[in-house]
Amino acid sequence: MTEKHKNEKETIFLECERWWIFACMMFVGGYYGAYTYNCRGGVFCNAQTANFVLFGSSVGHGDWSKALYYMIPMAAYLGGTIISQYLPTKVKKVTHVRWDTAFVGFEILVVLILGFIPESAPVQISQVIVNFICSMQYNTFRRAENIPTATTFCTSHVRETGVNLVKWAKHREEKKFLKLSLFHAGMIGVFVAGVIASTLLCNFFGVKGILFAEIVLVYVFADLLHADLTTEKDLLFKVPKGH
């Protein structure tokens, strides 16, 4: 195989690695953040840094009951990571679809459940569910066309936008750095768009506003399922980059 053909083969990406799939999941990630903040207790459940800070602060103050309370969402996040790491091979053998596809289907079901949890229910129920699902999403979708991409928070995208912008400023002939900077900036923009949409819809529809995330999720699920059953049927056991 020539070097040219080898490079061409290496640039073939699975449907679950396409940048637009990640953009959709990034939108959903922003949607979840605004949902828990606006409708379920004024907190963000997409990541766990704040909970670790509050846990440590509670321990420092000797407030052990509050420290134990913060361990609940932290444990849910850890559980989501473990399950999403363990299940992919099992799911492919049993269902003949990729884990990424099965996970989005599961996510659709979870969002449906979230939409029908009464507003009067303890906010911790919804918070823990979102912690769990965001952990699984973060661990499942890792690289968009071989670019490390988080779909539930923006910190890494802010860093990569700045890092690649500086690299491009130093090496103007290297257009790849500008493209990478714009890619990460675009992901931040998509995340913010999800936040805005969620805020507007949740303000109008209340806790049921989360159900509008289903539009994006169903579209992604249909596309991934189609790929699994047709165009990528023979690539079922090819592992997405980053896993």
- Chain segment 187-230, per-residue pLDDT in tens: 999 999 999 999 999 999 999 999 999 999 999 999 999 999 99
Nearest to 130 by CA among 73, 202, 64, 67: 73
Q: What are phi and psi of 143, to 5 degrees?
A: -130, 120
Instruction: Tell me what the mean pLDDT of segment 17-23 comes to.
Output: 97
pLDDT at 7 over 60: no
- 3-state SS assignment for residue 21: helix
- Chain segment 134-171, per-residue pLDDT in tens: 999 999 999 999 999 999 999 999 999 999 999 999 98
Q: What are phi and psi of 147, to 5 degrees?
A: -105, 120
Q: Provide the pLDDT for residue 3.
A: 47
- CA dist 143 and 9 (Å) reads 17
Query: What's this model's pTM, rounded to 2 decimal places?
Result: 0.92
Q: Provide the pLDDT for residue 8.
A: 43
- Chain segment 40-93, per-residue pLDDT in tens: 998 889 999 989 999 999 999 999 999 999 999 999 999 999 999 999 988 888
48 against 7, higher pLDDT? 48
- CA dist 168 and 175 (Å) reads 7
Cα angle value 117/75/127 (rounded, 5°): 25
Q: What mean pLDDT is reported for the chain?
A: 93
3 against 175, higher pLDDT? 175
Q: Provide the pLDDT for residue 11.
A: 67
Q: Where are the domains of the chain?
A: 19-233
DSSP lists the bridge partners of residue 147 as 144
- CA dist 5 and 28 (Å) reads 37
Q: C-alpha dihedral over 91, 96, 102, 105, to 10 degrees?
A: -140
Q: Give the pLDDT band of residue 133 (cuts 50, 70, 90).
A: very high
Rg of the chain over Cα atoms, rounded to whole angstroms, equals 19
C-alpha distance across the termini of the chain, in Å:
26
The CATH architecture one would assign to domain 19-233 is Up-down Bundle (1.20)
Give, as one character, the DSSP assignment of residue 15.
Answer: G
pLDDT at 5 over 80: no
Chain centroid, CA 76 distance in Å: 15
Residue recorded with tokens 């507003």: 119
- Who's near 5: CB < 8 A, 6+ residues apart? none
Cα–Cα distance list, 33 to 75, 110, 154, 237, 238 (Å): 19, 15, 11, 33, 32
Give, as one character, the DSSP assignment of residue 240.
Answer: P
